[in-house]
Amino acid sequence: MVRRQTSPTMSLDKSFLQTPSPTHRLRVDTDALANNWRALDAVSGDASTGAAVKADCYGLGVDTCIPVLRDAGAETFFAAHWSEVPPLLNHVAAEQVAVLHGPVTDEDVRFAIATGARPVINSIEQAQRWKEGGGAVCHLMVDTGINRLGAAPSELSDPIFQSLDIDILMSHLACADEDIPMNARQLDAFRGATTMIEHRRSSLANSAGIALGADYAFDLTRPGIALYGGVPRSEFAGRIRQVAFLEAAIIQTRTLSIGESVGYNAQFTADRSMRVGTVSLGYADGFLRARGNGFALRVGDVELPLLGKVSMDMIVVDLTNAPELGEGDWLDVPFSLPDAAQQSSVSQYELLTVLGQRLRSC
């Protein structure tokens, strides 16, 4: 039997070690975030304005965003999973947190009661589980046409629903970013639902729904993507500011000769001698391959076109227009969500929420 030789274990004093600065970074413009909430609140009219904060505030960080939204005036916060609740409780009261997926298991019920976070009930089964587990105040989702989560309007007369102590009765618009008849159909269906069951507040409009006007606002609006810089409808152009800003550093430069290729599958081949830079950013950071073709990074007003495929941790840019750049120099990664979505055909929601953990932690 061959034994693998190992070196003696060394005892390393890590107290003096400091993690080196990253070579890519995400900056959240908290002033823009507060501005966006206030802009959406103003358009919401007499309705109060909450905040969808699921998926770590759409990828921008609960600890960064929640205090800003809270201090701007938001009082109701919508998460998707129960696992998202604990970080929120560091910043807001439990009764301000609504969990959209509801009590799927008995464990969810126990957790909700223990923390005070309020479930959004979506079905007869969830309502029964909530009541049998000793739950009190809750919210109720009614499905008016999106056919994801929620009770059918025809079910609202069921005694189990009628027995609930409902704070917010809500529904969700399927096509608010479009001007189509389905919006009005859902509005009519929700209005009907509000007359069928007792509740304190009602809520229908998401980010795009706010732009549809006062009829859709009810008592509470629930913006999400527009808080974080997305523009789901043209009415918000000029009102919603960019919140997320990305930068990445050059980690190596080289000069390509005619005929040399770049990256996987050799999708780019140099037709001239050209200086290029390898940049510390890739699809593991949420910079998707769909953004590669035709995209460019920038230094000031100068564009640096991407060459070849986006790799997991790296992209390569053409440095012809900025020959002075070298290792360690920082480049701007254009991240206006409407522009990036148009360029890549990836939705604004996806572009934001796929930001990689190592980028968000920088």
CB 227 within 8 A of CB 244: no
Q: What angle do CA 349, 267, 291 make, to 5 degrees?
A: 15
Q: Is 216 labeled as catalytic in the residue annotation?
A: no
- Nearest Cα to 297, choosing from 277, 311, 283, 313? 277
As given in the structure block, the two tokens for residue 182 are: 């389905």
Of 345, 300, 349, 359, give the one whose Cα is nearest residue 55: 349
H helix and E strand count, the chain: 12, 18
The residues with which 49 forms a beta bridge, in sequence order, are 221
Q: How far is CA 144 from CA 52, 134, 193, in A?
A: 20, 28, 9
Measure the CA–CA gap between 306 and 316, rounded to whole angstroms. 6
Selecting among 58, 131, 228, 264, the annotated active-site residue is: 264
Q: Active-site residue among 54, 216, 283, 309? A: 54
Catalytic residue flag (residue 58): no
Of 253, 255, 351, nearest to 295 (Cα)?
Answer: 351
Listed in sequence order, the residues at least 6 apart from 338 whose beta carbon sits closer than 8 Å to its beta carbon are: 230, 231, 237, 348
The Cβ of residue 188 has, within 10 Å, a number of other Cβ atoms equal to 11
> Which residues are known to be catalytic?
54, 264
